[in-house]
Chain A
Amino acid sequence: MLLALSLTGGAAAHRLDEYLQATLIGVTRDTVEVEIQLTPGVAVLPVLMAVIDQDRDGRISSEEERAYVGRVAREVELRIDGVPAPLSLIESNFPTIESMREGSGTIRMKLRTERSGHELRFENRHLPQISAYLVNCLAAASDGLVVSQQKRDAVQTSIEFEYSFGADAVPGPRSAWIALAPFWPAAIGMLLVVRMAVLVYRERNTTRIAFKSSQVKSL
């Protein structure tokens, strides 16, 4: 079969001039896990190697791997209910330099915090000059996770959303309720006072009626 070639555009088969940073956030009742997959394009690898390969020997040592993932961990931020949640490195994995030179190598790292809450915000500030970002929250149907109000910036360096689980799931926004939290003890106290007043009133009323009844009987 003769092929009449008609091509437009470039013929790159793999990532070139971007450092793709893809984040998946896994939320459970007790923890939040952040998995980041970093894939450098061939054109940006020299820039990345300059960051990672501190001794400029053309290889990535174990110490340099640890230093780099530590830097990434410091340049992302997780907040739960408005409070910074420290992330601990759980695992990391580096590809070969050869695969990164071809644009197919992916650095993988997993971070975790032992925190729970109802509002989450994650931001990635690592190497924005050369990067493209993806960030998503994982779905976990078995846990009854309900996520709402997902918001990202235009280039996905950040995500925020509200979440809850199972029977506690609230379909709509809870942020107003959370903001009023400091006033709850006072509100509950007032309700208790009102309740006691009602009980006292009823008790007195009951006593008065019984007294009047006994007076009528004695007449």
Chain B
Amino acid sequence: MVKTTLLRSSKSTFLAAVLCCGLAPAQSSLSVTSKIVVSADGFLSSLDEGQRSKVLFEFNDAAQRARWSNLPTTMVPRAGLKMGDLTGPQRNAVMGLLAAALSQRGYEKVLAIVEGDEVLKAAGGGSRPMFGRDLFYISILGKPSVKDPWMLQFGGHHLALNITIVGRDGILTPSLTAAQPAKYTVDGKTVRPLGSENDKAFALINALDEGQRKQAILNYKVADLVLGPGQDGKTIQPEGIKCSAMNASQQAMLLDLVSEWAGIINEQTAAARMAEIKASLSQTWFAWSGPTTNGTPAYYRIQGPTVVIEYAPQPLGGDPTMHIHTIYRDPTNDYGKKAVGH
């Protein structure tokens, strides 16, 4: 009798453990979404009616979805609420929402880009302010939900985050990160918003052997991003070296580099993106244009079935290494089209 009870009890415990383990990741991802929704609702409740009507858009508002750019908001107007028009608590609510949606390193990267724009503003002067943390915008498409799709946009000069949230899934593409200046100092500490994107790439190109580098390096100059803002829905023919021609260590370096974009979003949803990219690594290409010494301006592109990343120094009258534009896309799932079922 005792033996039977124990057996039943063990079986129940075992089943409970299996269920818990099986459900735990799902619950964890859903709890991340719940936190994001709570933060979004908290932000929305801090607004008056006029502000809410400005910040909220229909989920299928195609014009608003594509309303992002690397250019200053004075040159390419954004819609939504401008940070400079918000009160202190409302701004804190925006930052809390971003902190909930992004990973720690993603959030820090965004802060570094925004503060870099403030540095640019302080250095540039001029009669018409074009830069600075007040000129970043937030907008929400759809209604924050743990179940139904909705979208969070945050950006301005040199930043465009387009985050589509569908249940436990979060899609960060297309998004743009950029930096000017690419290196600045705050309280004696050097800040490089895209420093890892630069350093890891140079480490990778120099980790290739001579034959591999010959495949990777394009014999022509690339002047700018090919698939930047305004190029939604387009994919170009891949070039460079195929990752199947890299050894395991080089492939790991490439994935680590990719994580500088894919890992901007919270860790749980980033893991799903990285798994997709890793699964199709043999169909992924790495192309390079320019010198291979760190500290020099070089363009590179990573292109696979579910990822397109470009890194392009900008020769706009100054040191190109101090002005970087990057783009991150997923040809199969930009704006969450696969997840939403467009």
Which A residues are within 8 Å of any B CB, using their own CB? 1-18, 20, 22, 24, 37, 41, 99, 102-104, 106, 132-134, 136-139, 141, 147, 150, 152-156, 161
Contact = CB atoms under 8 A, between A and B. Distances in A.
A5 B123 contact: yes
B221 A154 contact: yes
B186 A24 contact: no
A22 B226 contact: yes
A214 B72 CA distance: 100
Contacts of A7: 119, 123, 181, 184, 322
A57 to B, nearest CB: 25
Contacts, number: 121
B234 A5 contact: no
A6 B224 contact: no
A4 B75 contact: no
A35 to B, nearest CB: 9
Given A3-B122, A9-B318, A10-B316, A18 B237 contact: no
A13 B235 CA distance: 26
Contacts of A2: 187
Interface secondary structure of B, over-half rule: loop
B75 A99 contact: yes
B239 interface: yes
A196 B122 CA distance: 88
Interface of B: 71-72, 75-76, 115, 118-120, 122-124, 130-131, 157, 180-181, 183-188, 190, 218-224, 226, 230, 234-239, 315-319, 322-323
B153 to A, nearest CB: 19
23 contacts: A3-B122, A3-B186, A5-B119, A6-B183, A6-B190, A7-B123, A9-B318, A9-B322, A10-B316, A10-B319, A11-B124, A11-B318, A12-B318, A13-B71, A13-B180, A16-B317, A17-B317, A24-B234, A99-B75, A104-B76, A136-B237, A141-B235, A153-B220
A24 B236 contact: yes
B221 A155 contact: yes
Contact of B237 (A11, A22, A139, A154): A139
A153 to B, nearest CB: 7
A11 B123 contact: yes
Given A3-B122, A4-B188, A5-B185, 9 more contacts: A3-B186, A10-B316, A13-B71, A13-B120, A134-B223, A134-B224, A134-B226, A136-B236, A154-B221
Contact of B223 (A3, A9, A24, A133): A133
Nearest to A99: B75
A138 B186 contact: no
A139 B230 CA distance: 17
A8 B319 contact: yes
Given A139-B238, A153-B220, A154-B219, A13 B130 contact: yes
Contacts of B235: 138-139, 141
A9 B323 contact: yes
B282 to A, nearest CB: 16
Contact of A18 (B76, B119, B223): B223
B315 to A, nearest CB: 8
Nearest to A163: B237
Contacts of A8: 181, 183, 319, 322
A41 B139 CA distance: 30
Interface centre among A3, A8, A13, A106 (most CB of B within 10 A): A13
A11 B131 CA distance: 11
A3 B139 CA distance: 29
Nearest to B188: A4
Given A11-B318, A22-B224, A1 B237 contact: no
A1 B71 contact: no
Listed from nearest, the 5 A-B pairs whose CB atoms lie closest are: A10-B318, A9-B319, A9-B318, A6-B185, A132-B223
Contact of A13 (B115, B122, B131, B187): B131
Interface centre among B76, B123, B218, B318 (most CB of A within 10 A): B318
Given A9-B318, A11-B120, A12-B318, A154 B220 contact: yes
A17 B317 CA distance: 8
Contacts of B322: 7-9
B118 A3 contact: yes
A163 to B, nearest CB: 9
Contacts of A22: 224, 226
Nearest to B322: A9
Contacts of B224: 20, 22, 132, 134
Contacts of A17: 317
B317 A12 contact: yes
A152 B222 CA distance: 11
A46 to B, nearest CB: 16
